[in-house]
Amino acid sequence: LPAVYSLDGLLVFGLLLVCTCAYLRKVPRLRTWLLSERRGIWGVCHKAAVIGTRLHVAVSMSCLLMAFYVLVGK
C-alpha cells in the first residue's frame, strides 16, 4: 500500500499502463473491441496506446531505466 503513494510507484503504474495498452493495440480483435472508444476509461487506454506506439523508443528506454532502478536502486 505505501508504494501506491510514492512517485516511483506511480511511474511504474504509468509505464505499465502505456506498455499494456500499446501491446493490446497490436491485437486486431482487441483493438476494435477495447480501444475504439475515445471517451471515458477506454479513452484513457486509447490515448495510452497512442503514446506507446508513437514514442515506442522513449517508452522502452524508460521501462529499462525503471527496471534497473527498481532492481538495483531500491
Segment 20-61, tens digit of pLDDT: 989 888 888 777 777 677 788 888 888 898 899 899 999 999
Higher pLDDT pick, 5 / 67 = 67
- Domain limits, the chain: 2-71
Cβ-based neighbours of 49, under 8 Å, separated by 6 or more:
18, 21, 22, 24, 25, 35
For the residues 5-33, what does the mean pLDDT come to?
85
For the record, the C-alpha cell of 59 comes out as: 517508452
At residue 46, the pLDDT reads 84
pLDDT at 73: 81
What's the average model confidence in pLDDT over 8-19?
90
